[in-house]
């Protein structure tokens, strides 16, 4: 199985991440298939750069994004954001 996940780079305490395509069995910072972007949470606001065309290609052939990468793909506009449904418990009390 192929995963889209983050690969940690940078010094201790100053992490930044690459968004990579990797085999699910390889270690977090191990062998990768392709680098499709990067994420730097230390800037304000956080920097997200993802090659949308390559991300859509890998999603179309069955690559599964990790939870954190799914969030980044939604924030960068590659994946649609899930629709929020109103909470019926709070809607009836108003």
Tally of domains within the chain: 1
The answer to the question of residue 50 being in a domain is yes
The answer to the question of residue 54 being in a domain is yes
Q: Do 44 and 22 contact (CB within 8 A), yes or no?
A: no
Q: Give the E-state strand segments of 1-94 in sequence order.
A: 2-11, 14-23, 34-40, 47-50, 64-65
The answer to the question of residue 91 being in a domain is no
Provide the domain limits for residue 33.
Answer: 2-78
The answer to the question of residue 93 being in a domain is no
Question: What are the tens digits of pLDDT across the range 8-54?
Answer: 999 999 999 999 999 989 888 888 899 999 999 999 999 999 999 99
The answer to the question of residue 35 being in a domain is yes
- What CATH number corresponds to the domain at position 43? 3.30.1320.10
Q: Cis omega (within 30 of 0) on the bond before 45? A: yes
Q: What is the structure's pLDDT at 86? A: 79
Is residue 91 over pLDDT 70?
Answer: no
Q: How far apart are CA 2 and CA 22, in angstroms?
A: 6
Is residue 94 over pLDDT 60?
Answer: no
Q: Taking the model in full, what pTM does it have?
A: 0.80
Question: What are the tens digits of pLDDT across the range 58-85?
Answer: 999 999 999 999 999 999 988 888 888 8
The answer to the question of residue 88 being in a domain is no
| pLDDT band at 93; cut points 50, 70, 90 | low
Q: How far apart are CA 87 and CA 94, in angstroms?
A: 12
């Amino acid at each position: 199985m192929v995963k889209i996940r983050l690969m940690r780079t940078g010094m201790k305490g100053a992490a930044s991440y690459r968004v990579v395509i990797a085999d699910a069995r390889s270690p977090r910072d191990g062998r990768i298939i392709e680098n499709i972007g990067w994420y730097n949470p230390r800037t304000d606001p956080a920097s997200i750069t993802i090659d949308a065309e390559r991300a859509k290609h890998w999603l179309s052939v069955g690559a599964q994004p990790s939870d954190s990468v799914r969030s980044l793909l939604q924030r960068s506009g590659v994946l649609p954001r899930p629709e929020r449904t109103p909470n019926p418990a709070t809607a009836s009390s108003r």
